[in-house]
A = this chain, B = another copy of it.
Amino acid sequence: MEKINIRKLASILNISVATISKAMRDSHEISDATKKRVWDAARKYNYTPNPYASSLRRKKSKTIAVILPEVADNFFSLAINGIQAVAEAKGYHVLIYLTHESFELERTFVEDCCSGRVDGLLISITSETQTPDHIAKLQKENIPIVFFDREFEQITAPKVVTNDYDCGYQSAKLLVQRGCKNIRFLSISESLPICTKRAQGFLDAMAETVKNFGEEEAIYYCNGNNEQTRDHITKLLLSRPKVDGIVASVERLAIQVYLACQELKIKIPRNLRVIAFSTVETAPILNPSLSTVTQPAFDIGKSAAEILFTLMAGKDYGYHKKPVMIPSQIIERDSTK
């Protein structure tokens, strides 16, 4: 069958060329129904978008951007390695922007991406991010964007995540099985989906397991830099000496729990059992070895980058409706035994 071009396809569907182009880039301006019509017709008439069609309009930078909170965190370091593995194979450069959880920085970085400096963006949002306008603006410029790990629920865009709810649920169940009576879930944000989903899984497991479970004190928020986080945790452990189990929802919280316990001479796991969402390579050699929800950080980065390159080539990435979910693995070590 002969290939048709975008104009022909537009006339068949009786919509504009721009609408087809936006639909194929998964723009939020186009309805799901129209996207489906476009992709169905594209398949039917064997239409393959020219990957460089859009690059004729703007100069290709051969660069993608990654905006993320922090690199002093093994999860993000590994995710970057996954992203870079894909980008290098495609001959692209990766620019990394660190927000350090500042929404203001995130906003200016995203604006920076509008200027033609990059061809696509991978983003893991800050714990402060509450409004989507900066992201929506980038989508209007037809610059492909993919969320990884820390997504933004209100934005329609490809997302690569892990099974956060399930892992929160299973972490709580594990601590209960090991005899914990008074468990706290440590969180860094009331709005980040990774935190709220992990927390919801935790709360549901607790409500199922513990009679008259009170949610009020179950989630404990720790903010700030490492020292401030450690102070928060120390305060919790001193004021609530009956706490005998902790689920740390992000990597750096677990390390601060260990350091706080070392200072307070609280023995893990005898006095306090700990499990953490963490990919930290030192988990097996910590004292005691740390039970982890090990996230597929490299694969999350790799998968997000692959989707981004698919979008940048103007192709359908095949996951319009749901985020791509790559499951984590619970590895029990001495800290919960």
Query: Which residues from chain A sit less than 8 Å from chain B, CB to CB?
Result: 70-72, 74, 76-78, 80-81, 84, 88, 93-98, 100, 105, 108-109, 112, 117, 226, 255, 258-259, 262, 280-282, 284-289
Contacts and interface: CB of A to CB of B under 8 A. Distances in A.
7 contacts: A70-B77, A71-B76, A71-B77, A84-B100, A93-B108, A94-B97, A96-B97
A281 to B, nearest CB: 6
A80 B84 contact: no
Contacts of A95: 95-97
A77 B72 contact: yes
A265 to B, nearest CB: 13
A260 to B, nearest CB: 10
A285 B84 contact: no
Given A93-B112, A255-B285, A285-B286, 4 more contacts: A70-B77, A88-B105, A93-B97, A94-B98
Contacts of A258: 282, 285
Nearest to A287: B287
A335 to B, nearest CB: 11
Nearest to A282: B282
Interface of A is mostly: helix
Nearest to A61: B117
Nearest to A72: B77
A96 B81 CA distance: 13
A71, A84, A109, most chain B CB atoms within 10 A: A71
B226 A255 contact: no
A100 B78 CA distance: 12
Given A80-B71, A95-B95, A281 B255 contact: yes
Contacts of A80: 71, 98
Contacts of A109: 93
Nearest to A104: B88
Pick the 9 closest A-B CB pairs, nearest first.
A72-B77, A287-B287, A96-B96, A71-B71, A258-B285, A95-B95, A71-B77, A282-B282, A285-B286
Contacts of A108: 93
Contacts of A72: 74, 77-78, 81
